[in-house]
Amino acid sequence: MQFTNLNAYKKYQVHKLLLLPFPETVYH
């Protein structure tokens, strides 16, 4: 998995930490 957008990467990290039950597939 490669992140071309730092903003997207930050959002992914934040959601991963705050919204654990949220499907991560949305950000992959």
- Report the pLDDT value the prediction gives residue 25, as an integer from 0 to 100: 57
Q: What is the dihedral of CA 3, 7, 13, 18, to 10 degrees?
A: -150
Confidence of residue 1 (pLDDT cuts 50, 70, 90): low
CA distances from 13 to 5, 8, 16 (A): 13, 9, 5
Please check the confidence at residue 7 and state whether its pLDDT lies above 70: yes
Average pLDDT for the chain:
68
Sequence spans of domains, the chain: 1-28
What pTM was estimated for this model as a whole? Answer: 0.34
- Report the pLDDT value the prediction gives residue 21, as an integer from 0 to 100: 61
- Report the pLDDT value the prediction gives residue 16, as an integer from 0 to 100: 72
Report d(CA 27, CA 3) in Å as an integer.
Answer: 10
CA torsion sign, 25 to 2 to 20 to 10?
A: negative
Report d(CA 2, CA 4) in Å as an integer.
Answer: 6
- Report the pLDDT value the prediction gives residue 3, as an integer from 0 to 100: 58
